[in-house]
Amino acid sequence: MERLGVQVGTSDNDAYIAAARFVHEQHLAEAGLIHSFSENLLSEAERERSFALFVLSAYVSPEVIGRIAAAGKAVISDESLKILATIDDPRIASVAKTALERRKVSPAAQQTEPSAPK
């Protein structure tokens, strides 16, 4: 509770508000990180997209990685997901494995890599 800035003996309402504020601040921090790496995530270069993904995977919730992976291969390649599926964080690895499985069965999830500009 101290991490949330709540003193012992405060009301349930105060504790709830502090917890909601903490979650909101965490979401803002995640959004800031995603924004700062958005150019890399949308780059034509696989290397830049992979770098952004791996940095984000260390700091954002696994659900965020899952939503980014749902954008298809144009954002996260199968190779990057395969690497994420082997990392030490079981939650991230699980999200990556699930995204790979969905791509195998769902045509919508199999969006191809972006084509070179003409």
Residue 91 has pLDDT above 90, yes or no: yes
Indicate the DSSP class of residue 72: -
Q: Residue 109: its pLDDT value, please?
A: 52
Task: Give residue-wise pLDDT tens across range 9-61.
Answer: 567 788 788 889 999 998 999 899 999 998 998 888 989 989 999 999 999 99
CA dihedral 64, 111, 50, 115 (to 10 degrees): -140
- CA angle, 97 then 59 then 47, to 5°: 65
Supply the pTM of this predicted model.
Answer: 0.67
Domain-wise residue ranges, the chain: 2-110
